[in-house]
Amino acid sequence: SASTGDFKKQNGIDAQKLNAQFAGLKKADACKDGEQACVETSFAQCVGGKWALTPCASGTVCLALPLVNKPGTSIACDSESDATARILAAGAEGGLTGTDGASGSTSA
């Protein structure tokens, strides 16, 4: 069985992969009913094969975040800096999408 640290890091990596996928989604893209994602920085739910967008509050964008207590990810509106910190805390490197090399700032 995986230790707590293992699923936390995997959650971070899974969140990065989702954020990378979400970056390419557009409102006009087809989707499966009930699916949830981030589309053009808004929280999106698929209704009738189309994305229904709910804008995030000012200063936040829709992002995939790693769960802390169990395997998995959640989709929520958050600041990019907080989301990046959560992914880093999970043990995954490379920022929001796993591709940020050394460009991510570590100072708060």
Give the C-alpha separation, 96 to 82, whole Å.
Answer: 10
Residues 22-55 pLDDT 10s? 999 999 999 999 999 999 999 999 999 999 999 9
The pTM of this model reads: 0.85
In a domain, 70, yes or no: yes
Q: Indicate whether 20 pLDDT > 70.
A: yes
Q: What is the mean pLDDT of residues 13-20?
A: 98
Structure tokens at 82: 């907080």
In a domain, 94, yes or no: no
Q: Indicate whether 3 pLDDT > 90.
A: no
Largest CA distance in the chain: 44
Alpha helices in the chain (DSSP H): 4-22, 80-89
Give the C-alpha separation, 41 to 25, whole Å.
Answer: 10
**Residue 37, domain extent:** 4-89
pLDDT recorded at residue 6: 86
Residue type, 98: G
In a domain, 68, yes or no: yes
Give the C-alpha separation, 33 to 46, whole Å.
Answer: 5
